[in-house]
Amino acid sequence: MHDRTSQTRHLTDAERIDRLRLIRSDNVGPRTFNSLISHFGNARAALEQLPDLARRGGAARSGRICSEAEARAEIAASDKIGVSLVAPGEAGYPPRLAALDDPPPLLGVRGNLETLIRPMIAIVGSRNASGAGLKFAGKLARDLGDAGFVVISGLARGIDQAAHRVTIDSGTVAVLAGGHDRIYPPEHGDLLSALLEQGGAISEMPLGHVPRARDFPRRNRLISGASLGVVVIEAAHRSGSLITARMAAEQGREVFAVPGSPLDPRAAGTNDLIKQGAALVTDASDVINAVQPIMERPLVLAAREGSDEPLDFDTDPGERERIVALLGPSPVSLDDLIRISGLSAALVRTVLLELELAGRLERHGGGLVSLI
């Protein structure tokens, strides 16, 4: 098996605490985190600027900033249950996830860290799967595991759990939508415990975080981002599995779909994916042959943390108002904002960052943003 990268980075304790404080502060997501680090140089300097940036974005008062005591408490509590909080490039951080434009700045990892850096294939699908779908998910996952791949999925009912169960011995990774101590669904706690010996679990959420509906698309981004490709087995229209497939395509990952009967609504989404160009899968060799050339190419971590997205804080009120006036409840792309406003990309990105820190901006898939 190829697809290895050198994992050489190692944060100091102080850097890890500062990074945790920044990503756990209100309105700071991975993309904003990376932009702040790139501009201010380190997490501590960025933390000092948060109140002023939120004020510039129109916040009446600054959002909550995670304290050092809170960060130390989370690290201590994580250690107690065997969870390490690792940064991109550190041991145990899935290499392909680290190569994204917006990887989680700190990822909670647990289990066999060697498995977490091996080549992964995602298998996802319907929670309300058919017997045939569950049987095929198990066969495909077992064959991929026998071929040396790690199967990654979301620990959900249906297709996910079928793929996890047959790859407990070969290595499987569960991506959690909540904290490591808030397993969903709860009845899969035993499955998670069983897979941790040879496999692993990852989450970007803090301990104690109970997953909400909006957390599952965030989880799906990690499933696709850590993998070479995503196989969708049974997905109705507008299902979470189709979100994972869309994110995989945006991330440059391979998208595979298993065809199903036109009479079964659980196959409507997968059949549509095939019409849209997803690779049709009937056995593991279809997946292996497609990803083999990708694995032969060396994987190099991208220049980290927003270095290609400069910020420009030298704005006048009129320019800021022009950008805000172009925003509304309907999502709009960054490129359109730059083109219509006639302002620089750095200036538009900066105003969006300030609005986000003020709690006034929502980011959507595909680089779209809207006002809250």
Query: How many other CB atoms are there within 10 angstroms of residue 263's CB atom?
Result: 7
| Domain ranges in the chain with CATH number 1.10.10.10 | 317-371
List pLDDT tens digits, range 195-245: 999 999 999 999 999 999 989 999 999 999 999 999 999 999 888 899 999
- pLDDT given at position 245: 95
- The tokens describing 331, both together, are 């999502």
- The tokens describing 94, both together, are 């899935």
- The tokens describing 210, both together, are 């109970």
Per-position DSSP letters for 227-269, written without gaps between them: SSEEEEES--TT-HHHHHHHHHHHTT-EEEEE---TT-GGGHH
Query: How many other CB atoms are there within 10 angstroms of residue 86's CB atom?
Result: 25
- pLDDT given at position 2: 52
- pLDDT given at position 7: 54
8 A C-beta contact, residue 6 and residue 87: no
Q: Which 3 state secondary structure label does DSSP give 358?
A: coil
- pLDDT given at position 310: 78
Q: Which 3 state secondary structure label does DSSP give 194?
A: helix
**Burial class of residue 314 in the structure, from the number of CB atoms within 10 Å of its CB (0-12 exposed, 13-18 middle, 19+ buried):** exposed
Please choose, from the candidates 196, 225, 218, 204, the residue with its C-alpha nearest in 3D space to the C-alpha of residue 122. Answer: 225
- pLDDT given at position 304: 47
Q: Cite the DSSP H helix spans in the chain.
A: 13-23, 30-40, 43-56, 68-80, 95-98, 113-116, 131-146, 159-165, 189-195, 215-225, 240-250, 268-275, 284-296, 317-326, 334-341, 345-357
- pLDDT given at position 1: 56
Q: Which 3 state secondary structure label does DSSP give 301?
A: coil
- pLDDT given at position 301: 60
Q: Could you tell me which CATH number the domain at 108-296 has?
A: 3.40.50.450
- pLDDT given at position 308: 54
- The tokens describing 148, both together, are 């040396």
- pLDDT given at position 36: 94
- pLDDT given at position 303: 45
Topology (CATH) of 317-371: Arc Repressor Mutant, subunit A (1.10.10)
Angle at 258 between CA 260 and CA 99, to 5 degrees: 150
- pLDDT given at position 305: 45
| Domain ranges in the chain with CATH number 3.40.50.450 | 108-296
Handedness of CA 16, 19, 25, 26 (dihedral sign): negative
Per-position DSSP letters for 3-15, written without gaps between them: ----------HHH
DSSP state of 41: S
**Whole-prediction pTM value?**
0.90
- The tokens describing 247, both together, are 């994110």
Q: Which residues of the chain have pLDDT under 50?
A: 6, 303-307
List pLDDT tens digits, range 57-80: 988 887 899 999 999 999 999 999
